[in-house]
Amino acid sequence: MISANKFWNKMAESYSKKPVPNEALYQQKLKTTQQYFDKDMSVLEFGCGTGSTALVHASYVKHYLAVDVSDKMIEIAENKLADTEIDNLEFKVTAIEDFNPSQSNFDAVLALSILHLLDDPKTIIQHVFNVLKPGCVFISSSPSITGFMRVLQPIWPLGVWLGVIPNVKFFSHDKWAGYMKEAGFIIEKHWIPDESKMTSFIIARKPS
């Protein structure tokens, strides 16, 4: 099995050219997220890919740090950033597992299409809880690979072994919300869009 870095480096170029599957839904997620932003906030996004979402959100907050395990993804993100006037957005290559800020200092953390790819999402959700300031939010969008998609579960490891698909967690909507609650979060919104029944969009708040 190849490492996450190698797999996503291989995918980076084509990923950057792929349109979002549902533009209207993507815009709705951006808008919903921005309702939780203000100009004094320091935001962390992990698994940021080629930075498209970070580039849209950065102007709504004070500082935006976007990290990804793939140096190729970050290279593309940096190139996009260089074509803008944005000066409060920073990209960094790091696996979220290795990301260790010295103190809990983020006002919001975003994880979009990434939690299901992690070896141990439960531990990372706890890590996010620890790096958020009290009263602040964790905004995530994760596929819940359930129902008929589960038929793929037995053959999925073959694709992973061949290096053509990433390793994923086959979790239900409730499992994601459950992990958030176990970490100490209060679920403020759990949105499963009608047009994308596999998506769990969750706003989870760390109590004050």
Ligand X SMILES: C[S@@+](CC[C@H](N)C(=O)[O-])C[C@H]1O[C@@H](n2cnc3c(N)ncnc32)[C@H](O)[C@@H]1O
Residues found near ligand X in the complex (CB under 6 A): 4, 8, 46-49, 68-70, 73, 95-97, 112-114, 117-118
Indicate the pairing of strand 89-93 with strand 199-205. unpaired
Point out the residue whose Cβ comes nearest to ligand X.
49
Nearest to 112 by CA among 93, 140, 92: 140
Q: Which is nearer to ligand X, 41 or 66 (CB)?
A: 66
Q: What's the first-to-final CA gap in the chain, in angstroms?
A: 42
d(CA 40, CA 178): 30
Indicate the pairing of strand 63-68 with strand 42-46. parallel
Q: Which is nearer to ligand X, 23 or 40 (CB)?
A: 23
Least distance to ligand X from the beta carbon of 204, Å? 17
Least distance to ligand X from the beta carbon of 117, Å? 5
Least distance to ligand X from the beta carbon of 67, Å? 6
Q: Which is nearer to ligand X, 195 or 208 (CB)?
A: 195
Least distance to ligand X from the beta carbon of 103, Å? 21
Cβ atoms within 10 Å, residue 77? 26
Q: Which is nearer to ligand X, 116 or 173 (CB)?
A: 116
Burial of residue 55 (number of CB atoms within 10 Å: 0-12, 13-18, 19+)? buried
